[in-house]
Structure 1
Amino acid sequence: MRNKESIFKKGNRAALLASIVNTIIAIIKGVAYFFTGNVAMFAEMMHSFGDAANQLFVFIGSALSKKLPTNRFPDGFGRLVNLVLLGAVIIVGVMSYETIKEGIMHILHPTESTGLLINISVLGVGFLLEVYVLYKAMKEIVHETGGQANGLAVIAMSFKNFKASKPATKLVFMEDMVATLGGIIAIIGILISYFAGWHAAEGVASVIIGIMMFYVVGNVFMDNAKGALGEADDELEDKIAEYIFTNSEIKDIKTLFAIKEGENYHIEMKLEIDASLTVAQAIAIKERIEGKISEINGITDVIIEFLVDDGVRTWFNHAHKDVN
């Protein structure tokens, strides 16, 4: 039992917080929809329930991915978070479909909903809670990527470092960004329906919210499919190569791979050195390089193999390769 508790303590905190908050928001929206029958509120309810379930899976997956390797799974469980997220997007996909379908039905057969004050109040409270969770996710991105910012500076830095954040945090950020915008769109749709008499506006709002949810599904699916397959990170490889060549003993890089495994990176490289170096010197160089690379955030292991320099330049950065 203690072991399970310690594992779940390592889960993504932003995802757990988002799941709890979205569950509360979804229940409140569900009660409001029950009394008012507002289709825009239905869309927001489905969105919040989908996000809550999704983010709970994300939390569990991020925690289990940190389990230590076993005899049966010697490579560890790093990519488990990618597989869980691939499953989680199915939930959002189903919710997206239902949201769009309900919106289209309301556009084709518009009906007047009631409870303007209830709807606006609930969506307003939901919007404020979503903003709170979104800001927490932004702070988590800044923390994960080694940045330092406070106040409004967190917003700018989170967008700047978004791509470098962990898959779980990235998903929470995207979902809550869409949820925050969705709340605004739902409020606009309700106000247009009430004051302009165009009741189909609520259905239009529902369709827009559903399409935004599908956008999240597509992005998360592609990102985690790459992670599950073990995508190489060109930018990180170039960054490591730049450091490697600051070591005068290294003549060339034969191969260098920075493979993303879940939330972390596995580094493998073959480096060419002068044949005149002694074994003791080679070991010292290896330990120095491993230590420096291991300091980079997210890198869990580094494997280095030395080869004798063949006098032929092999390594060029990826920008140079693209040009040629």
Structure 2
Amino acid sequence: MGSKAQVRGHAGHGHSHGHGDNAFLTSTDKNDAAVRITRIGLYVNLGMAVVKGIGGYVFHSQALSADAIHSLTDMVSDFMTLATVALALKPPTAQFPSGYGKVESLGSLGVSSILLVGGVLMGWSAALELAHIYLPAVADALEWIGLAGHSHGHDHQIPNIQAAWLAGGSIFVKEWLYRATMKIAKERKSSVLESNAVHHRVDSLTSIAALVSIACSNIFPAFQGLDSLGGLLITWLVVRTGWDNTKTALYELADAGMDDEVKEKINKAASRALEGMGMPPNVKVHSVQGIKAGQNYMVDVEISVPGHWTVDQTGNIEDAVRINIGEKVRGARRVKVRFVGEDQEKDYMSEFISPSVSARSSPEPEDEHDHDHHHHDGHSSGHSHTNGNANKRG
């Protein structure tokens, strides 16, 4: 009965959360919005990395060259996003009975970690640049202990103003990618797509910093540290964003509970299912819990029913509740329904075994391993005991 209801529940999801989602999110499907926007971002990052790299070399712009390297790191982010989105919606298996949603959480952790580490490295590079300009003794000391590369004279060449056009174009393209990717991420409630969208926003901000530094370096050539100061400001934003996304991914991996907004939607969907069946007022939703795994929600719903009801009576309710939640709540991948007596004050903590009850403290500690071990030890001791009795009787 449970598996049948689950299939019916998934069928109500359309393309969002059914078993067919995996087909829509593979690299061969060009029509799925999540795959399409990720591919566009991938191609744009590749093109920008090449164009900015060439432009940085031709126009002598260190900011543009650094931005090109940043675009290359985003390509890694796009590959991880595409791979995890496709894997996360694979149907559950015996090895992964809760599905593959946590694969996307791992992907989100990887993407946000790249952002975090990249921000730290950008900040370190900007700080070294300022040290070479204003604190050469400190820079020399860092070089001596191996924490900084050699400056090679640190020639501060003013970048060509033409480099500003490349930085300006990058701002508009990346801002569009951010908005398009974030829209899909909100619709799918996908943390890895959201991390990727934030990557695009940070790229547009770093391009702004590059544009300002290129322009100001030409307007105020004597102010050599402007580019590095702007880099430090952007670094703070990158690191903060990377840490926020990393923390969110870690919470998902640690099975943190769902948002109250999602719980409310589930409660409403379950309650309407009960109303649609004409249930009496004492049959109602007792509580809602669950965890988020990538785009998927693993939902647990408790429903209060009269204590004398039979399994057949509750079975019909279970089917209706599961199907309605599947149709109304985007991301509900698995729905477990538990029934409690209307006069019982139980919650989900009652499912956990008390610390005072364990195999070690049980009055019957013999599990299979202990039984075999005891039987093996008792075999030799049994011979000794029998022989002892025989000696007494003799």
Q: Do these two structures clear the TM 0.5 threshold for a shared fold by scoring above it?
A: yes
1:18 is matched with which residue?
41
Contact 2:292–2:298 (Cα < 8 Å) also in 1:
yes
Report deviation, 1:130: 0.8
**1:63 and 1:265 mapped to 2: Cα distance?**
17
Alignment of 1:203-214 (within 5 A): 203-214=228-239
1:7 is matched with which residue?
26
**2:69 and 2:178 mapped to 1: Cα distance?**
18
Report deviation, 1:210: 2.5
Q: Which sections of structure 2, spanning at least 5 residues, go unmatched?
A: 1-21, 134-154, 349-394
1:310 paired with 2:343, answer yes
Report deviation, 1:280: 4.3
Q: Aligned to 1:297, what secondary structure does the other structure show?
A: coil
Report deviation, 1:223: 0.9
Q: Aligned to 1:185, what secondary structure does the other structure show?
A: helix
TM, length-normalised to structure 1: 0.80
Task: Work out which of the residue numbers 301, 304, 320 in structure 1 matches 2:334.
Answer: 301
Task: Work out which of the residue numbers 255, 268, 289 in structure 1 matches 2:300.
Answer: 268
1:118 paired with 2:162, answer yes
> Could you say if the C-alpha distance between residues 101 and 314 of structure 1 is closer, same or farther in structure 2, counting changes exceeding 3 Å?
closer
Report deviation, 1:264: 1.0
TM, length-normalised to structure 2: 0.67
Contact 2:185–2:191 (Cα < 8 Å) also in 1:
no
Report deviation, 1:300: 1.1
2:82 is matched with which residue?
59
1:217 paired with 2:242, answer yes
Task: Work out which of the residue numbers 210, 234, 241 in structure 1 matches 2:267.
Answer: 241
> Could you say if the C-alpha distance between residues 226 and 311 of structure 1 is closer, same or farther in structure 2, counting changes exceeding 3 Å?
closer
1:92 paired with 2:115, answer yes
2:220 is matched with which residue?
196
**2:25 and 2:196 mapped to 1: Cα distance?**
22
The percent of aligned pairs where both chains have the same amino acid is 19
Query: Deviations for 1:232-282, whole angstroms, at most 9, x for unmatched residues?
Result: 114122332344455454545555212101111011122210235455443
**1:311 and 1:68 mapped to 2: Cα distance?**
35
Deviates more, 1:54-63 or 1:105-114: 105-114
Q: Aligned to 2:300, what secondary structure does the other structure show?
A: strand
> Could you say if the C-alpha distance between residues 243 and 92 of structure 1 is closer, same or farther in structure 2, counting changes exceeding 3 Å?
closer
> Could you say if the C-alpha distance between residues 223 and 206 of structure 1 is closer, same or farther in structure 2, counting changes exceeding 3 Å?
same
Question: Which structure would you say has the larger Rg?
Answer: 2
Contact 1:265–1:298 (Cα < 8 Å) also in 2:
yes
Report deviation, 1:286: 2.1
**1:61 and 1:132 mapped to 2: Cα distance?**
23
1:256 is matched with which residue?
288
1:151 is matched with which residue?
none
1:158 is matched with which residue?
none
> Could you say if the C-alpha distance between residues 245 and 89 of structure 1 is closer, same or farther in structure 2, counting changes exceeding 3 Å?
closer
Q: Aligned to 2:96, what secondary structure does the other structure show?
A: coil
The amino acid across from 2:228 in the alignment is G
Deviates more, 1:108-117 or 1:257-266: 108-117
**TM-align CA RMSD:** 2.8
Report deviation, 1:5: 9.7
Contact 2:159–2:214 (Cα < 8 Å) also in 1:
no
